[in-house]
Amino acid sequence: MVDELNIKGFRLFPGHLDRQAQEVMVADLRGVLAQAPLYRPVTPRGKAMSVRMSAAGQFGWVTDRRGYRYEPRHPDGMNWPPIPASIRSVWTALAGCARMPECCLINWYGEDARMGLHQDKDEADFTAPVLSISLGDDGLFRMGGVERGGKTASHWLRSGDVVVMGGEARLAHHGVDRIRFGSSSLLPNGGRINVTLRVVT
Ligand code: SIN
Ligand code: MN
């Protein structure tokens, strides 16, 4: 369990969103993705990521040959749509932060998608937490420390779970080893959506 790492500022809210709230959020996300479609990002080294991404808010996090950064527009040129109220309200309830998120990054995991251990460190203000919402299939979340190569622990995140990484956990390494494809009935075609809310500037 992630608890055993005892990283202050890591908070898990299991089942924070009930089924109806999850369905509303998925419908809102479909609206966002109709305007700003999922695309497959490429790492600065030129490797296609297995996760597909889009975003809402003033900024979207992007990666391509030019590096990791926040951009005010989708790679196809359109503005990112506003962050849906259903998602902003989770921040207001749980983040404990006076600032509102400026980026809602949307990650879509298909059957073989994963995300390697990394830190979220392209934001200017690390006093604001990162809040993550899981929807759809279970995902095996791995969490480590701030230093690279330290001890890690894993936890299956389920649909409706919310994680807040603030304080010491804000710069902790984290990633997703695999998903349990088809484990949830929320998304008719399977897969996992993870939404992360970030203050960028
Ligand atoms: C991320 O670190 O951006 C995603 C984490 C997750 O999918 O749970
Ligand atoms: Mn991350």
Q: What pLDDT, on a 0 to 100 scale, did the predictor assign at position 157?
A: 98
Ligand 1 atom at minimum distance from 157 CA:
8
For residue 41, give the ligand nearest its CA.
1
For 184-193, what is the mean pLDDT?
97
Whether the pLDDT of residue 2 is over 80: the answer is no
Q: pLDDT > 70: what percent of the chain?
A: 99
Q: What pLDDT, on a 0 to 100 scale, did the predictor assign at position 164?
A: 97
Q: Give residue 115 CA to ligand 2 midpoint distance, Å.
A: 9
For 46-70, what is the mean pLDDT?
96
Ligand 1 atom at minimum distance from 192 CA:
7
Burial group, residue 117, by CB count within 10 angstroms (0-12, 13-18, 19+):
middle
Least confident of 21-25, 64-68, 90-94, 158-162: 64-68
Distance from the Cα of residue 177 to its chain's centroid: 14
For residue 103, give the ligand nearest its CA.
1
Range of the domain at 150: 2-198
Interval 36-54: pLDDT, tens: 999 999 999 999 999 999 9
**Domains held by the chain: number:** 1
Burial group, residue 118, by CB count within 10 angstroms (0-12, 13-18, 19+):
exposed
Look at ligand 1, atom 3, and give the residue with the nearest C-alpha: 196
What would the DSSP string read from start to end of 66-78? TEEEEESB-TTSP
Q: Which residue has the tokens 């983040």?
A: 95
Residues having CB closer than 6 A to ligand 1 are 107, 115, 132, 139, 141, 157, 174, 176, 194, 196
Q: What pLDDT, on a 0 to 100 scale, did the predictor assign at position 1?
A: 66
For 11-18, what is the mean pLDDT?
97
Mutation choice for ligand 1 from 132, 138, 163, 192, CB with most ligand atoms inside 8 A: 132
Q: Give residue 192 CA to ligand 1 midpoint distance, Å.
A: 11
For residue 171, give the ligand nearest its CA.
2
CATH number at residue 181: 2.60.120.590
Per-residue confidence band for 7, with pLDDT thresholds at 50, 70 and 90: confident
